Structure 1
Amino acid sequence: MRILSFYPIKTFKLILEFENKEYRIVDMKKFLQNEQGVMQDICNDINVFMSAELDDVVGTIRFKNDVDFDNTALYEAGQDLEKIVVKANRSYPVARKITRLPDNFRSKISKENERLLELLSKRY
């Protein structure tokens, strides 16, 4: 499955768009945790990581140190971004509709405060 586009995040994560229109996020630090050498450079050096480019020929990600990855491996290592967003939205309460009060609305406290200010201004 080809990668159509991607977005690197400075926390060593890639958001990938695959040809099935699915977006997946891959944590490269976890993906490469057991690797060494030039593979490890990708998740240890932000400049190498941010050098990622889309290889249009094979539809994968290639880094400036000539490392690229199998699309299927990236797909399987990634988490479905839509599921993450849906799960995150469930943890927040649903927004309530707040109706705006008329501009000339004065609460009981506001009326009392106005009356007190008026009395104070007359005394002093």
Structure 2
Amino acid sequence: MNEMRRRYSMKIISFYATKTFKLVLEFENGKYRVCDFIKSVKSSKDLLKELTVDVDLFLSIKIDNTSGDLYWDKNRKFSAETLYELSMDLDQLINPPPRKIRLPVASKTTHLTEASKSRTTRELEKSNKELLERIRINKT
């Protein structure tokens, strides 16, 4: 446990509880994290589940200034280490990494015969060929 405390600098120095059962936590290492309490305690004991039903009870949370842990009463206490592990980094929530976009791949290419092409299509092809040639020249 002491190793975790040193590794993460786990003491909570401030927090904000929301009516949607989330905790915004500030740790002494300068990190801000958000804990969605409903997701975090969904498989817990009845004492903890009660916290996700009663908003007034949830909002009555307090901080132990000595340990930096959060508690409601002697039976419902969360260590800073546990809350750190259950929470997500606020920066990642606000600025998530960009998603990789998968572009569709053409499964079949159809080539038109010269006779079936319209005048506009032939003009576009010629224009595209000229642009590609210019690009090739500029690259070298």
TM value normalised by structure 1: 0.66
In the alignment, structure 1 residue 60 sits paired with structure 2 residue 69: yes
TM-superposed CA distance for 1:47, in Å, is: 1.1
Q: What is the CA–CA distance in structure 1 between the aligned matches of 2:92 and 2:45, rounded to whole Å?
A: 31
Letter in 2 for 1:25: V
The alignment's C-alpha RMSD in Å is: 1.9
Q: Verify the 8 A CA contact 1:38 1:65 in the aligned structure 2.
A: no
Q: What's the secondary structure of 1:39's corresponding residue?
A: helix
Please name the residue that 1:46 is paired with: 55
Q: How many residues align?
A: 90
Fraction of identical pairs, as percent: 33
**Structure 1 unaligned blocks of 5 or more:** 92-124
1:57–1:4 CA distance, 2 compared to 1 (3 A): same
Please name the residue that 1:4 is paired with: 13
Q: Of the candidates 30, 40, 44, which is equivalent to residue 35 of structure 1?
A: 44
TM-superposed CA distance for 1:4, in Å, is: 0.4
Please name the residue that 2:132 is paired with: none
Runs (4 or more) in structure 1 with deviation over 6 Å come to none
Q: Of the candidates 75, 80, 86, which is equivalent to residue 95 of structure 2?
A: 86
Q: What is the CA–CA distance in structure 2 between the aligned matches of 1:58 and 1:65, rounded to whole Å?
A: 14
Q: What is the CA–CA distance in structure 2 between the aligned matches of 1:59 and 1:42, rounded to whole Å?
A: 20
Q: What is the CA–CA distance in structure 1 between the aligned matches of 2:56 and 2:68, rounded to whole Å?
A: 22
